[in-house]
Structure 1
Amino acid sequence: MKYKIVSDSSCDLNEGLKKQMDVGLVPLKIDIDGETFVDDENLNVDELLENMKNSKNHVKTSSPSPGDFLKEYEEGENVFVVTISSQLSGTYNSAILAKNIIADSAEKFIHVFDSKSASIGETLISMKIFELIQEKYDNLDIVNKIEQYINEMKTFFILDNLDNLIKGGRLTKIAGHIASFLSIKPIMGSDEEGNIRLVDKVRGTKKAFRRLVDIIGEEGKDIEDKVLGISHCNNEERANKLKDEISKRYNFKDIIVVEMAGLSSVYANDGGIVIAF
């Protein structure tokens, strides 16, 4: 039986993972001042970041259509789909609609997972699905194990630039300017439903990252059995330093570092870091 893992373009992968897992990535679209960027392999992320920096308007994103997902579903007999949190995007609904359409016309197994996360969170879920397929678990066992994995997964992030949160109305201009002026760095994460929550706020970048490392120990369980992922937006040096600090403190099964593609870069902005485990 042919298996296929499908995700949206918020799932950030390095070249090694792309070759190993062959995940079908369904792109979202990004609109900046009327110019549309398709978040696929042809996207120039540096150009995207520059356009975001120069724009005074809110960056808009649009979900893939059900038809976009259908194209990927056709490539497998057993299809596992991972989407960005349904609380952040309508992408999950599009994936479900595509499943319902194809269910009437073909005998396939399709299951859509709401990651309740984004970026590296989707990456880790895709990796876990791939692992279970290789271990020859049946489809229902994979579904149950992945749902449990999602419910136990933790996602945190630190943003170096708050501009997009301000433009998008998630942070008032006054609060944003005060935070910037006082060098307040909010540490944020996802809640149990996949919404964004404030975890802590610390003055100064270095202190914020030290606090993030502490939070891993406070909220993590059974770390030795888990992979921790770090995704970064144009901030490889900081991501690798964070990896080193985490390695010194905790005995994760593995730690991977990937660079963000377009959609994750819109949320995190230049310098942003997301971790999940």
Structure 2
Amino acid sequence: MQKIKLFTDSTSDLSKQLLNEHRIDVVPLSVVFADKAFKDGQEINTEKMYNIIDENGKLPKTSAPSPQDFIDAFKPYIDDGYEIIYIGLSSDLSVTCQNASLASQSLDGKVHVVDSKNLSTGIGLLVLKAADFINEGFSSEEVAQKVRNLVEKVETEFVINTLEYLHKGGRCSGVQNFVGNMLKIRPVVKVVDGGMILAQKTRGKRKKALKTLLKNALKNKKEITEDRIFVTHSMDSEGAEYLKAELEKEVKGQVIITDAGCVISSHCGPKTVGILYIKK
């Protein structure tokens, strides 16, 4: 039987429990404050990152693993007879998959890179499906292709609680930030074709925004696969628990709550929460 090792990056936002359960290794991205870099999920967590942002008033930059980082992670397994499947952050948002592909060129074709065209647990859904396919006995080539066939079926949508981080990151103007906060505008963002688009603008109380997110997901409830649905949040366990409870009333799939890592949180800010699933 072929030996296959599954890798992802820290932006898959899978919990340590899920990573360990499915024997998945991580090549992390980093968040960089001034000249100090921290590996996401290993050297820094989201709460610590927010504390640093509050202290200095500036967002960190994010940094992809280098080709050498991937070689260092992959080669010990390849030397032990494994083939590698790597599923990473959308190539429209990061050079992570590009760097993994560069690394694969020096590893005798033993690495299969899958561009998720997604982020957060939109990647995680694909990674766990890959683990399922490996357990079912498919070859590395078959697993990689089956996952690629699922990429366009992943639905990722989340609501942002404040425009402050988008403003600090240069994604909205000071005027937009001021007006948005005055009117309590909470954008609903969707991943489409590997990038993020503004799908809706909700206005008013936060609960209204969460209900909009829930309503959007339940429009497709007949199309939601019955294995896993993720509710992923950045420091908003209350909102995540509300969405989980409401989803469980309507769908048969397993609803799993996960914490968003530093990379996605640095762009969207605290109390961002999303619903992510794969369509049939």
Residues in 2 aligned to 1:84 and 1:112: alpha-carbon distance in whole angstroms:
11
CA contact (8 A) 1:120 1:275 kept: no
In the other structure, the counterpart of 2:90 is 85
Residues in 2 aligned to 1:86 and 1:191: alpha-carbon distance in whole angstroms:
13
Deviates more, 1:77-86 or 1:225-234: 225-234
CA contact (8 A) 1:4 1:78 kept: yes
Residues in 2 aligned to 1:232 and 1:117: alpha-carbon distance in whole angstroms:
16
**2:118 is aligned with 1:117:** yes
- Once the two structures are TM-superposed, the CA of residue 58 in structure 1 deviates from its matched residue by 4.2
- Once the two structures are TM-superposed, the CA of residue 45 in structure 1 deviates from its matched residue by 2.9
In the other structure, the counterpart of 2:136 is 135
Residues in 2 aligned to 1:116 and 1:276: alpha-carbon distance in whole angstroms:
14
Change (3 A) 1:224 1:38: closer
**2:265 is aligned with 1:269:** no
Deviations 1:121-155 (A, max 9, x none): 11111100000000112233222221121111111
CA contact (8 A) 2:232 2:240 kept: yes
Change (3 A) 1:59 1:43: closer
- Which one-letter code corresponds to 1:79 in the other structure? I
- The root-mean-square deviation of aligned C-alpha atoms, in Å, is 1.8
Unpaired stretches in structure 2, ≥5 consecutive residues: none
Residues in 1 aligned to 2:126 and 2:146: alpha-carbon distance in whole angstroms:
10
Instruction: Trace 1:96-245 onto structure 2 (pairs within 5 A).
Output: 96-103=101-108, 109-192=110-193, 194-203=194-203, 204-219=205-220, 222-245=223-246
Unpaired stretches in structure 1, ≥5 consecutive residues: none
In the other structure, the counterpart of 2:58 is 57
SS of residue in 1 equivalent to 2:107: helix
- Which one-letter code corresponds to 1:273 in the other structure? V
Deviates more, 1:114-123 or 1:225-234: 225-234
Residues in 2 aligned to 1:140 and 1:38: alpha-carbon distance in whole angstroms:
30
CA contact (8 A) 1:33 1:55 kept: no
SS of residue in 1 equivalent to 2:170: coil
- Which one-letter code corresponds to 1:20 in the other structure? E
Deviations 1:210-235 (A, max 9, x none): 11111113356522434211221111
CA contact (8 A) 1:120 1:274 kept: no
- Once the two structures are TM-superposed, the CA of residue 22 in structure 1 deviates from its matched residue by 2.3
CA contact (8 A) 2:91 2:97 kept: yes
Runs of 4+ off more than 4 Å: none
Residues in 2 aligned to 1:224 and 1:231: alpha-carbon distance in whole angstroms:
17
- Once the two structures are TM-superposed, the CA of residue 181 in structure 1 deviates from its matched residue by 1.0
**2:263 is aligned with 1:258:** no
Percentage of identical aligned residues: 27
- Which one-letter code corresponds to 2:86 in the other structure? V
CA contact (8 A) 2:116 2:123 kept: yes
CA contact (8 A) 2:32 2:62 kept: yes
CA contact (8 A) 1:85 1:114 kept: yes
In the other structure, the counterpart of 2:16 is 15
Q: TM-score, normalised by structure 2?
A: 0.90
- Which one-letter code corresponds to 1:202 in the other structure? T
Change (3 A) 1:138 1:40: same
